[in-house]
Amino acid sequence: MSGRATVPHGLPRRDFLSLAGAAIATPLLPRDVFANVETGTPLHGLSAFGDLKYAPGFSRFDYASPEAPKGGTFNFQPGYWYYNQNVLTFNTLNAFVRTGDAPPRMEICYDSLMVRAYDEPDAIYGLLAESVTLSDDRNGFTFKLRPEARFHDGSPVTAADVAFTYNLLKEKGHPQLQLPLTEMTEASVEGPDLVHLRFSGRQSRRNILTVAGYPIFSKAFVEENGFDSSRLVPVLGSGPYKVGRFSAGRYVEYERVEDYWARDLGPAKGFNHFDTIRLDFYRDRNAGFEAFKKGDVYWREEFTSRVWATGYDFPAIRDGRVVQVEIPGEKRPQLYGLVLNQRREQFKDVRVREAISLCFDFEWTNRNLFYDAYARSHSFFERSPYMAEGEPSPEEQALLDRFRGEAPEAAFGEAVKQPVSDGSGRDRNNLRRARQLLTEAGWTPRDGVLHNEKGTRFTLEYLVRDELFLRQDASFGENLRAIGIDASTRVVDASQYQSRQNAFDFDMISMAIGLTATPDANGLEQIFHSRTAGVEGSYNFAGTADPVVDALVEIAGEAKSRDELTVTLKVLDRVLRARRDWIPNWHLTNHRVAHWDMFGYSDNKPDYFFPVESLWWFEAEKAKAIGKA
């Protein structure tokens, strides 16, 4: 989850049956978690459904570049971020709590028990932990720590630090970190280098693949310094970088740890080549682009089609010092669209949400604002095998039939698609249908604005944090007002936006969320499950609270094969699309990247993640040739 980047805050996990109701009851989560994995034997890695690509003692991941030189500064503008991180400002260096605004990439200062392989869809391998052993009931996981693991102050990483961290994150961590720990019943020390994580048996069967990747903190440091967002003091970590120079809200530098304890281990070898990773903070994307053109920023992923098509015509482009490249995207589902907040009364009726979607003219927007750069999105799992298409397959139909009378009727036919317009910017047929739907939902015009039977005006405020979003108002906003909705767009500063987003204090926002290549119940719950609908800081921006969706998320968490997971997620996609909680917008298949020509990188890009700051490196001769040595 992008952020993003991708959880309940102190909520007890409710029994599935009380959520779903007897009509759609399914078995509780299975006891055969990792049924094909041997218990009682130390393992160097775990994978959800298949064999691991890398054998014990492997020297490096295939996409690593151990021959790359070390050095240089990488000043870039990140395209994704996590937890409470903010790309426009920061006022704390604790990125793992709900409050405050932290700088992106704080996570590179921390190691975890295990790390993901970016060329496998769901495999993890031991980093701080040299092995993990499953208990006989597969609900307990004992990690044996590497004796050489060290924090940045030279102190050893112990089992006490690990157990303390998991208990701390369960109690005080960001909601996105808390949810996967809901069913953790114990984090205990079994020896100086042995820590045991125990779960109730009701957790997602792939839950440990997420939990084992959590940052580990120094117990002594946290007990002395606290764990909140009130101070600009980073929690002590053990990762390949540590916080260097910074100025709150202006810039932060991460310095490479020269004697990083894991630099020669297989899961860490051949990454993290830059001596310094620097992030500068600008008030908006345009200011950041101007800094890039001047050479203050070295690497930028472009998300604005108008700028990509017309803005890259400046001296450094023309003389070859800056290059534009398109890099293949990852094989992971991504959701990008407009979110309507169903906690607000006017958006609770699905007919209203459909009416609003009819006002968005993608064809006009793509041609007039985006230079025909995008493809229309329809799915919550766009660009992935989990996207529903056409009529349900027999396997999908069998699962759908369990929810007859509960799921929206539209979920049982062809997968719902977003409306196609005539490209005029004001398609009369679509607007006529929108008015009809609003009338059916009880909204009638009065003095040019819709009112409900209580006399309440229909208002819709689109909350944004960058003026570039105002361009959409040229068609979408005008269409909303044309059918009687009192629509407006409000630009707020980055800190206020983050606060309002976390508190669900909005009518509509734009949001992009990336999912893992093998989505599990944890990630899905954060976006779609009723457990998170009232949990501030979760990704359930729409306030989705539907027992059918809950049940399908639970079934996805139980999946014992990739085929079973694929069928379940296709059915979930059908139901979500029929509910119209989001208005899917558009997508690209590639990363649009511009950079000053001073870097090297391997053509062997991994399929499932693209952390440019750890994969690329500085080339001194190239930098010298363009005056950037």
**Alpha-carbon span 527 to 548, nearest angstrom:** 14
What's the CA gap between 251 and 350, in Å, rounded? 44
As a whole number, mean pLDDT of residues 147-154 equals 98
329 burial level (CB within 10 Å; 0-12, 13-18, 19+): middle
- Delimit the CATH 3.40.190.10 region(s) of the chain: 41-46+71-256
Lowest mean pLDDT among 39-43, 104-108, 444-448, 585-589: 585-589
pLDDT at 11 over 60: no
Give CA separation, 544 vs 99, 324, 524, in Å: 23, 40, 11
Q: Looking at the predicted structure, is the pLDDT value of residue 412 above 60?
A: yes
The CA distances from residue 570 to 384, 396, 593, 621, in Å, are 10, 7, 32, 50
Per-residue exposure over 542-558, b if at least 16 CB sit within 10 Å of its own CB, e if not: bbbbbbbbbbbbbbbbb
pLDDT band at 1 (very low <50, low <70, confident <90, very high): very low
- pLDDT at site 513: 86
What is the overall mean pLDDT for the chain?
A: 91
Write the single-letter amino acid at 464.
Answer: V
pLDDT confidence of residue 2:
38
Which of 161-170, 462-471, 591-600 is least confident?
462-471
Please say if the pLDDT value at position 38 is more than 90: no
Q: What is the mean pLDDT of residues 444-448?
A: 95
Return the pLDDT at 35.
63
Top-confidence residue, 15 or 55: 55
Across residues 211-231, what is the average pLDDT? 95
Indicate the pLDDT class of residue 445, thresholds 50, 70 and 90: very high
For 105-147, how does the pLDDT look when each residue is reduced to its tens digit (9 = 90+)?
Answer: 999 999 999 999 999 999 999 999 999 999 999 999 999 999 9
pLDDT bracket for residue 348 (50, 70, 90): very high
Report the C-alpha gap between 578 and 396 in whole angstroms.
15
H/E stretch holding 177 reads helix 175-178
What is the spatial distance between Cα 13 and Cα 38, in angstroms, rounded to a whole number? 29
Give the β-pairing of 444-446 and 241-247: unpaired
357 sits in the region (left: phi over 0; alpha: psi -120 to 50; else beta) called alpha
* pLDDT at residue number 130: 97
Q: Give the neighbor-by-neighbor strand order of the sheet with 322-328.
A: 241-247, 251-256, 276-280, 73-77, 299-301, 590-596, 322-328
**pLDDT tens for each residue of 534-557:** 999 889 999 999 999 999 999 998
Compute the average pLDDT of residues 366-379.
Answer: 90
Share of the chain above pLDDT 90, in %: 80
Length in residues, the chain = 629
- Give the model confidence (pLDDT) of 180-193 as tens digits: 999 999 999 999 99
Tell me phi and psi for residue 245, to 5 degrees.
-70, 150
Amino acid at 580: R
Better-scored residue on pLDDT, 30 or 146: 146
Architecture of domain 41-46+71-256: 3-Layer(aba) Sandwich (3.40)
Give me the long-range contacts of 451-458 (CB less than 8 A, separation at least 24): 452/346, 456/345, 456/346, 457/486, 458/346, 458/484, 458/485, 458/486
Q: Residue for token digits 């997420």? A: 210
Q: Which amino acid, 391?
A: E
Residue 461 banded pLDDT, cuts 50, 70, 90: very high
Average pLDDT on 372-395 reads: 93
Confidence band (pLDDT; 50, 70, 90) for 80? confident
φ and ψ at 102, to 5 degrees? -105, 155
Q: Give the residue with greater pLDDT, 224 vs 369.
A: 224
Residue 34: per-residue pLDDT: 65
Amino acid of residue 381? F
Mean pLDDT, to the nearest integer, of 602-617?
95
Quickly tell me which residue has 């055969």 as its tokens. Answer: 32
pLDDT surpassing 80 at residue 224: yes
Question: What's the average model confidence in pLDDT over 54-63?
Answer: 97
What does the alpha-carbon distance between residue 149 and residue 187 come to, in Å, rounded to a whole number?
19
- Asked if 157 and 130 count as a contact pair (C-beta separation under 8 A), the reply is no
Cβ atoms of 382 and 587 within 8 Å: the answer is yes
Backbone angles phi, psi at 429, to 5 degrees: -65, -45
Mean pLDDT of 160-189: 96
pLDDT-based confidence at 32, cuts 50/70/90? low
pLDDT confidence of residue 91: 95
Q: Tokens representing 428?
A: 């009369």
The CATH number corresponding to 334-587 among 2.160.20.10, 3.40.50.920, 3.10.105.10, 3.30.420.40 equals: 3.10.105.10
Q: Which amino acid is at 465?
A: R
Query: Using the 8-state DSSP alphabet, how is residue 247 labeled?
Result: E
pLDDT value at residue 7: 31
Is-above-0.85 flag for pTM? yes
What's residue 427's pLDDT?
A: 96
User: Over the stretch 260-303, which tens digit does the pLDDT of each residue have?
Assistant: 999 999 999 999 999 999 999 998 888 999 999 999 999 999 98
d(CA 565, CA 571): 10
Lowest model confidence (mean pLDDT) among 170-174, 222-226, 304-308, 544-548: 304-308
Strand positions, DSSP E, 43-105: 45-47, 73-77
CA 581, 582, 588 angle in degrees (round to 5)? Answer: 155
Residue type present at position 475: S
Q: Binning pLDDT at 50, 70 and 90, where does residue 50 land?
A: confident
Q: Cα angle vertex 339, ends 338, 342, to 5°?
A: 150
Domain ranges in the chain with CATH number 3.10.105.10: 334-587
- 468-498 residues labelled b (16+ CB within 10 A) or e (exposed): beebbbebbbebbbbbbbebebebeebbebb
